[in-house]
Amino acid sequence: MPFRLCLSKSSSFFNPIIPKSQISMANLSSLPTNHRTTSTTTTTTPRTRLRGVVFDMDGTLTVPVIDFLAMYKAVLGDDEYRRIKSENPSGIDILQQIENWSPDRQKKAYEIITDYERQGLDRLQIMPGAAELCGLLDSKKIRRGLITRNINDAVDLFHQRFGMKFSPALSREFRPCKPDPAPLLHICSIWEVEPNEVIMVGDSLKDDVACGKRAGAFTCLLDESGRYNAPEYANVDHKPDFKVSSLTEVYSLLERHFELVP
């Protein structure tokens, strides 16, 4: 269904009227101009072409099972955790925190992290709506990629259990990791598409949305519990273009806002 437009005489940019639902277009006005669509008609507008969707894995395509809070405290210790958290209210980048540690200390930290991730793998479950969403994207021949800060073994296991392949699927062996835009830009270059023809879907503002925005892609935040409505996230640097509370909302959102053409 095309956008309904609400154009004022003074503006050539559209203001989409979004149906009342869990879906929201969080901050269209902050989009780079190459994300905006101009229109000469008051009834329809060419929608932006979307050629690929890049997903986060843990907490997005899989049900969140890794206890990140316990992991951070185990790696950093309670006091250090509290100090770093107070400096980074929107979230801790644990891989960055340990990057400059001594090799011995870093090795122990990675052992702890890997242990938590392995426990998560034992309980891995596919997110409700993930298979249906991917099936619909496949029916439109829209590319599907994956970027995770987890290890490659976890991606392999996920692929086995999920039964559908994401390609490329970049794990943390690809450096630099999210929130750096490098993995997303790498996927775009392999797909031979522009970043603004791609949307990054993930459950982390500081990793997935930041990575997508820095790359110049669209972003969709999966916020199942509404935790990002908390005041501490009001003034973050990177705001998502869209927000959903379930993966089941994503396909209709994409159809409504984009032209899905490979």
Q: Which is nearer to Mg ion, 61 or 254 (CB)?
A: 61
The residue from 31, 50, 52, 59 that contacts Mg ion (CB under 5 A) is: 59
Q: How far is the CB of 99 from Mg ion (least distance, A)?
A: 20
Q: Any contact of residue 223 with Mg ion (CB under 5 A)?
A: no
Q: How far is the CB of 48 from Mg ion (least distance, A)?
A: 25
Q: How far is the CB of 202 from Mg ion (least distance, A)?
A: 5
User: Among 117, 180, 123, which residue's Cα sits nearest to residue 147?
Assistant: 180
Name the segment binding Mg ion (CB under 5 A); options: 13-21, 56-64, 84-92, 214-222: 56-64
Q: How big is the site for Mg ion, counted in residues (CB under 5 A)? A: 5
58 is catalytic: yes
Cβ count within 10 A of residue 33: 7
Q: What region does 141 belong to: left with phi over 0, alpha with psi -120 to 50, or beta?
A: left
Q: Which pairs count as long-range contacts for 66-69, CB under 8 Å and 24+ apart, including other chains?
A: 66/116, 66/117, 66/119, 66/120, 67/116, 68/94, 68/116
CB 63 within 8 A of CB 101: no
- Strand, coil or helix: what is 17? coil
CB 182 within 8 A of CB 149: no
16 preceded by cis ω (within 30°)?
Answer: no
Catalytic residue among 56, 203, 207, 208: 56
Q: Which is nearer to Mg ion, 143 or 178 (CB)?
A: 178
Q: Any contact of residue 241 with Mg ion (CB under 5 A)?
A: no
The residue from 45, 50, 51, 56 that contacts Mg ion (CB under 5 A) is: 56
56 is catalytic: yes
Name the segment binding Mg ion (CB under 5 A); options: 82-90, 163-171, 202-210, 238-246: 202-210
Tell me the catalytic residues: 56, 58
